[in-house]
Structure 1
């Protein structure tokens, strides 16, 4: 199946059906991931006689594998190089810019998701979906870590991941928000599989907050307290991915978060962290024929997998795989190939 594409780099454009003034695309790589500093794009265009694309110019990549055009990347040029016969362009999305910014802010009686949205907006990012977070009576943002680090820290307390979608919007979502669902056929769509059981770094979490809110009421949540048992939460995950609240395993992670001032908030955070970990029991990647519609945060099922295949035992419960990263590469020999990371 042929792949259609429309690429824009500042004033330059490249299409599979060339028009007057279009550049010739030699190869393209686009990546979006939950594990990093946002999405990136790398392209090589024919022609050394053209002026380089200026830093900061806008970039948009649309791919179509037969089901309609999908915007898989939106960002700006961050680098490039001229070769003897070609021009190479590097770009990143808006999430990477947050790693360069510092700010200070203070909040009273808000939820963590409100803080996340406000920080993203102050950083100039486009805000997509942001999961619900625990309520906190007060929260202070200092200049360090930088803005992206602040958002990551808040997302962890919510059991969420931070990433960008193809339209350039920053998403902060949990495994309970599965995104779009996709079914890929073994032997038809799937080119390669490398998926196995992951060794989880811990099997439970104990979250400790601060203050006397649980014992004395929310209006006194700022009081110091000698017994913090009322401002704590526990949760564990078993080998099948089932999360149990109020329980610790043999390898617990202990977290101290002074922003959590009630037992309910600490327990919600503990459960959310374990739900996030449970979604990572399987790890690896899958190469498929071009699938531009699949985005990080989506879920994937493998259809027509033979019962005798070793992977069938791993997926016997029918649980879909949560996509953590997507990498598209397009060249004139292979066409469009998509690698999904789990």
Structure 2
């Protein structure tokens, strides 16, 4: 890693809960051990020794949990982990400097010489010098921090590589699904316009121009991983304008749309396949046409998107058409179990409903 990515990685690690839990558990255990042994040591009641006993366990645990992996991640280039030899050299140097800082702080806090001898582990009756304390701590601490840092960094790198591979796979799936959808919409629209050419050539000419604009909007809309729901509504309004030229008064549309949800970012083409399915299977085959009711409302922490139509009842089996299969796959990718898709009937209405338990996508 370069310096900026390394800094971002460190900040991201600081926001994770698990490393903090581990660090705090070890800090508490070390502190408890010192205070359990405290009654047998009068030096522990020295003010500086007490401050050292409270502060150093946390600093040492933090150094092991958060700082020791960093030398293994520094490469100066785009690699995510240093080579083994370079990692060892960097870790030993970095950890030694870190131990110098920790021992210096502890030396400053513990002013009582007897307390230094006991707390810093030089042994009773032996002269207490800074270099002796530093040598002992560096001899024990630097290799241990290097090993633990290597284990943590190797585990992180493996997890990051797995996440990157999954992200590339998911991105490939998104590209495939988007590529399936736009040609599918164009194909169905052209089939509908073929009927209009025979019935009303002038209207067909206008519909072809509108279809050109619609397809341009489809491509622009589908190029994004996420798009505001307001853009989805505008796309569907344009699509319905094209279909109205073909169906005329047989198509009657009503909207019940919560404008407060317009800025919500969602995968593109959530609404359009439902509207297309309602027209193709419900309204267009019915001689008298029917009504199309589109609604969007907040539901708990998420939302409910609903498309209902009269006309000919549609088969209540998911996955029969390209558009609906595509929609199901994109919902699973974006929301996992937090999204549900249901087809059903309510009296004369055929109803397609998408419910999202959260407005946040997984990616």
Calculate the TM-score normalised by the size of structure 1.
Answer: 0.22
Structure holding more helix per residue? 2
Structure holding more strand per residue? 1
Higher relative contact order (CA 8 A, sep 6+): 1
Calculate the TM-score normalised by the size of structure 2.
Answer: 0.21
